[in-house]
A = this chain, B = another copy of it.
């Protein structure tokens, strides 16, 4: 199936033509790859991947491919007969890399980065081979207890009190869903047992989040049977942070209408502009109204490693639950999201279900069975890669890297502010800069629809031109209905020169496009 591998890196013995007769899959055996073949193929894979990571900067970050082009090159019918492992591995440089969006490229500054750090990759490799399933303590003592240890390490590194315990999930979407499901139970709705339909005695539940909160909150409401309509989007202030007066008004209106507020989601580091909701005041309201407070710090949380930046997190220690994603700014390969809560029994009430075939007979010592706290039964061992990388970098190493990214963003913000043809659209509190091109010649009154439309179109063209260079990948959002370019720094491999290059490209492409 190999087509056009442009990097011939496979040792000769792994050449497809050289493997005939060596392969148990071809010899009629019914087991796995032989241990010797696994060892050899895995060493070859190491070199493929080390070469890739060494050379990743040579790729255009966004592959220059049309949708459907790769699919069209592959057979619709699955192969009936075995292929040699050498042929399969040759497709990594031949087909996979040329069609990948290079998240590991140091110029990847779109969305929020997910870095597969070296120790994280090794952790995933070990995890795959051991094949643990820490759904029960019994099915993986090491998976279960390393997760308890790593959850504790992260909690302490973030400066949160002992009252928080937690678990590792796949994504912030799942972590927030679990938090809101727990809020449903904590509110006394008994939704896990009785559901929400056909119960005239309960008012429609409502979850509050700012209009800048992540889409995963609305999606959790959809999934949980609350509905998108249950997600009350609260207006934000000039810095895109939740307006407490608007929250109070919404709460009062919903109470008056007989609805049942159950949770407030405060964000520390929103997706569009990394805004910080006023958590201390929101926590007071949550306490007064007996609502579950969930803090979404999926991206921003890592900055709590840095004592000087902990002011951004004031009040989060009062939350009922907090999500921070190691697979964002903790350099952990997908997937790993940390959900912390001081009310673990509510999580368990939302998800515990123990059929006979999952009862273990060794309950003389109480054990922690993680499946009781999440929607899924089976689960990957996500703790090992974190155990590897926290030890490899050390908390101080992680802290210095996160801080360095923030400083890079602050420098870029200063550069943007100093350029009369560019405009910064949001405060820079973490490592993301929101900006737009606003050439002096194009500037009119913003309120004129024509001016706004021309600025939007110009910035869309500018971003496309910068991304087309392949050296940098930026994404966009809308802030106050303005097309906004985001430069999100947080990739472990990004150095000062890459941020400087992104800024130089924005300036150069803007000059080239003209006003």
* Contact residue among B45, B129, B392 (Cβ-Cβ distance under 8 Å from A33): B392
Q: In the complex, A495→B377 CA distance in Å?
A: 28
For the complex formed, measure the closest distance between the CB of A482 and the CB atoms of chain B, giving whole angstroms: 11
In the complex the two chains form, what is the Cα distance from A477 to B355 in whole Å? 9
> Across the interface, do A124 and B128 meet the contact criterion of CB distance under 8 Å?
yes
Instruction: Write the chain B residue with the least CB distance to A225.
Output: B225
- B70 pairs with A397, CB closer than 8 A: no
Q: Tell whether A133 pairs with B393 under 8 Å between CB atoms, given A96-B384, A122-B45.
A: no
Bound-state CA distance A276–B198 (Å) is 33
Residues in B whose Cβ lies below 8 Å from that of A157: 78
Contact with B along A53-66 (1 / 0, CB 8 A): 11000000011011
Complex contact A130–B334 (CB within 8 A): no
The reply on A115 being an interface residue by CB < 8 A is yes
Q: A52 contacts the other chain (Cβ, under 8 Å)?
A: yes
Q: Is the CB of B195 within 8 A of A221?
A: yes
Contact A171 B377 (CB under 8 A): yes
Q: Mark A99-143, 1 if CB is under 8 A from B, else 0.
A: 111011000000100111111111011111111110001111111
Please report the C-alpha to C-alpha distance between residue A204 and residue B200 in the assembled complex, in whole angstroms.
11
Check if A32 is an interface residue, CB within 8 A of chain B.
Answer: yes
**Cβ distance A251 to chain B, nearest Cβ, rounded Å:** 17
Neighbouring B residues of A200 by C-beta, 8 Å: 200
B38 near A118 (CB under 8 angstroms)?
A: yes
With a cutoff of 8 Å between Cβ atoms, the chain B residues found around residue A11 in the complex are none
A350 in contact (CB, < 8 A) = yes
The docked-state distance in angstroms from the alpha carbon of A127 to that of B104 is 12
Query: Cβ of B53 and Cβ of A146 under 8 Å apart?
Result: no
> Which of B42, B128, B486 is close to A50, meaning CB atoms less than 8 Å apart?
B42
Cβ B223 vs Cβ A351 within 8 A: yes
Does the CB pair A353–B122 fall under 8 Å? no
Q: Contact at A380–B335, with CB atoms within 8 Å?
A: yes
Chain B residues near A361: list those with CB within 8 A.
460, 463-464, 476
A37 to B392, CA, bound (A): 12
When the two chains form their complex, are residues A142 and B205 in contact, meaning their CB atoms are under 8 A apart?
Answer: no
Choose among B122, B272, B365 the residue that contacts A67 (Cβ–Cβ < 8 A). B365
A82 at the interface (CB under 8 A from B): yes
A202: Cβ under 8 A from any B Cβ: yes
Those of A304-342 within 8 Å (CB) of chain B: 327, 331, 333-335
In A486-506, the 8 Å CB interface with B consists of: 486, 492-493, 495
Please tell me if A513 contacts chain B, counting CB pairs below 8 Å: no
Interface size on A, residues (CB 8 A): 177
Q: Map CB proximity to B onto A348-385 as digits: 1 under 8 Å, 0 otherwise.
A: 00110111111001100111000000011111100010
**B71 engages A177 (CB within 8 Å):** no
A395 at the interface (CB under 8 A from B): yes
Residue pair A477, B356 in contact (C-beta under 8 Å): yes
> In the complex, what's the smallest C-beta–C-beta distance from A346 to chain B, in angstroms?
13
Q: A79-B395, A204-B198, A335-B378 are in contact. Are A142 and B223 (CB under 8 A)?
A: no
In the complex, identify which listed stretch (A148-156, A238-246, A416-424, A436-444) lies at the interface while the others stay far away. Answer: A148-156
A143 to B100, CA, bound (A): 7
Q: How far is the CB of A395 from chain B (nearest CB, A)?
A: 5
Contacting residues of chain A (218-252) with chain B, CB-CB under 8 angstroms: 218-230
Min C-beta distance of A294 to chain B, whole Å: 16
For residue A321, give the distance in angstroms from its CB to the closest CB of chain B: 16
Q: Once the chains bind, are B142 and A82 in contact (CB under 8 Å)?
A: no
**Does A1 interact with chain B (Cβ within 8 Å)?**
yes
Q: List 27 A-B contacts (CB under 8 A).
A: A33-B119, A38-B53, A41-B118, A41-B122, A45-B125, A48-B126, A80-B396, A83-B392, A87-B391, A88-B388, A89-B122, A114-B131, A116-B131, A170-B376, A173-B375, A173-B376, A173-B377, A173-B378, A181-B223, A195-B225, A195-B230, A196-B227, A197-B260, A198-B202, A198-B259, A334-B380, A361-B464
Counting from the closest, the 5 A-B pairs by CB-CB distance are A225-B225, A195-B227, A33-B118, A78-B153, A124-B128
